[in-house]
Structure 1
């Protein structure tokens, strides 16, 4: 009986390479094209897509590289891909840092899955041509899974979850002195405040100005971060010398334009809702100032994004409180 004809190894590699290109292009369209609102913060985009990419890269490396090389390959690709995304399409570091752990884990997991398929394929006592064709069918079917997950997440978005972040500072100054700085904090220099992960490493602009104005019957704190970011805090609770609270309003797209396009503070998966200061007299010429920010998010990975909210919003709050403390104690 004649042996089945062997397919060239380059044919199988070419097939996997084409599938890899298809996945990358489809994902780029989903994230940067129209219509994707909830999917990029779910399991499909954060884990299933890099898992598929890792499996394809692992498959491409079967013929030429050892096991360690196949596992490292997805990490190497992402090390190239993320800088291209950052410099090429202007993706912010906030989003990149958030997705990076999932993409690394998913990519390595996909490569491990490809290794398992390789081992089973080598053990199978079948003609190479038949095995190759079956593998192609399995790969083609597997590549549909990430996009099926994304579609399902779009069709059935998770419920909104409410979270809050608070920071406090003790200030050696009178309550009147500190209160005046809650009403207005003008002309904040870049050198004021404290070093933070959010501002100094991620690149979120620092607060540069805040002023309380009256618009009809409404008090509005007009806030600026850096030279370009603007938003408003519409005051709805104020007790002079004790507390002031507000609802956030974002009149334009300056926040996401100068931080990260996917971090919309009043968007489909995140809403920065409320904020406020509470001032408490704790001793002679000593007060404790508390700043709280409440937000809502809609994701199935709330535990993970809550950690990022604690870090990023906490850094912003800590920096603002440091500015007020330094000025009040001067």
Structure 2
């Protein structure tokens, strides 16, 4: 034990301080520690990769294996600590994992180059830990662009337009044995339960109910019977669960659902192509990354919902 402490004591100290820095930054940033923050998603991971290497000698820095292993060990320990203490849930960590591990490694590589070739004072390099806290207030004054993205899913159904229409305007309660839950449902994305409508016409109100009590309040904006229906979407904020991911995304100010459209298109052999298109808005300086995950999660949700409708219509 003493031998391990002598050989790796400083490195363990560096990893511990790196984890502590990560936890501190997460607590300080609070609800701003999201996909909408350049500071949290890009700058902090790079610094997490640098901190433990400040406690390594140049011999260790020359090993590229250490440059990858040490930052990854620090970030993995940081993630595990946040998960165990309930600061983040697994889905949040999955979404931010790629930037953290990639930029943590990049930060370590830059530090290696500077320290070996320039031999900068480690005291000066320690001042980097202040960078996120200096940049974050500036980032708040940068106007974030808003963009609307569409995700389309479709299914071919052997049924009549009337039958399909009755299964999409209103959705009867979906039993567990009807819905094929997937990876994202296991991680906490709520599955649909049912949808009710008060008036089947433009300006009618449609309520979408989801697992865990989440409600979508929807207003019908286009209604062409047996052909097309569009409704805008507003989340009832009072029904959003206290889970970290739900609060970040559904009660945040950078992601909003816009609307959804069902279209029925008659194709050959009398079959119907049912198309579901959802629109969502992102408001951040890194919309491209939010779009990557938004498309994946919404596409998965839509495909599973259309599978339910297909089975019901062909019974």
**TM-score w.r.t. length of structure 2:** 0.85
Alignment of 1:28-107 (within 5 A): 28-32=26-30, 36=32, 41-62=36-57, 65=60, 67=63, 68-89=65-86, 91-107=88-104
> Contact 2:158–2:270 (CA<8 Å) still a contact in 1?
yes
Q: Which residue pairs with 2:3 in the alignment?
A: none
CA RMSD for the aligned pairs?
3.2
Distance 1:143 1:118 in 2: 16
Task: Pick the aligned partner of 1:150 from 102, 123, 136.
Answer: 136
Equivalences for residues 1-330 of structure 1 within 5 A = 20=18, 23-32=21-30, 36=32, 41-62=36-57, 65=60, 67=63, 68-89=65-86, 91-120=88-117, 134-140=121-127, 142-194=128-180, 196-200=182-186, 202-214=187-199, 218-255=203-240, 257-258=242-243, 260-265=245-250, 267-330=252-315
Deviation, 1:75, is 1.0
Counterpart in the other structure of 1:7: none
Cα distance change on mapping 1:186 and 1:84 into 2, 3 Å: farther
Change (3 A) 1:25 1:98: closer
Report if the CA contact (8 A) 2:197-2:205 is conserved. yes
Which one has the largest radius of gyration? 1
Q: Deviations over 1:181-209 (max 9, x none)?
A: 01221221223244544324x33121111
1:233–1:281 CA distance, 2 compared to 1 (3 A): same
CA distance in 2, matches of 1:16, 1:259: 28
The whole-number CA distance in structure 1 between the counterparts of 2:88 and 2:20 is: 21
Give distance in 2, aligned partners of 1:48 and 1:176: 54
The Cα offsets for residues 26-77 of structure 1, whole Å up to 9 and x where unpaired, read as 41223326xx38x752321111101111111111233795632353122112
In structure 1, how many angstroms separate the alpha carbons of the residues matched to 2:135 and 2:241?
Answer: 26
SS of residue matched to 2:249: coil
Q: 1:294 to 1:235 in 2, by over 3 A?
A: same
Greater share of helix: 2
Give a deviation string over 1:155-200, Cα, whole Å, max 9, x none.
Answer: 1132111111110111000000000001221221223244544324
Q: In the TM superposition, what whole-angstrom CA distance separates every residue of 1:232-274 from its partner, at most 9, and x where no partner exists?
A: 2221211111111111111224345347145433632111111
Sort the Cα spacing of 1:283 and 1:266 in 2 relative to 1 into closer, same or farther, 3 A. Answer: farther
SS at match of 2:165: helix
Number of aligned residue pairs: give it: 307
Contact 2:214 2:236 (8 Å CA) reproduced: no
Residue ranges of structure 1 left out of the alignment (5+ in a row): 1-9, 125-130
| Separation in 2, partners of 1:217, 1:290 | 20
Following TM superposition, by how much is the alpha carbon of 1:17 offset from its aligned partner in structure 2, in angstroms? 7.4
Unaligned runs of 5+ in 2: 1-7
Three-state SS of the structure 2 residue aligned to 1:156 is: coil
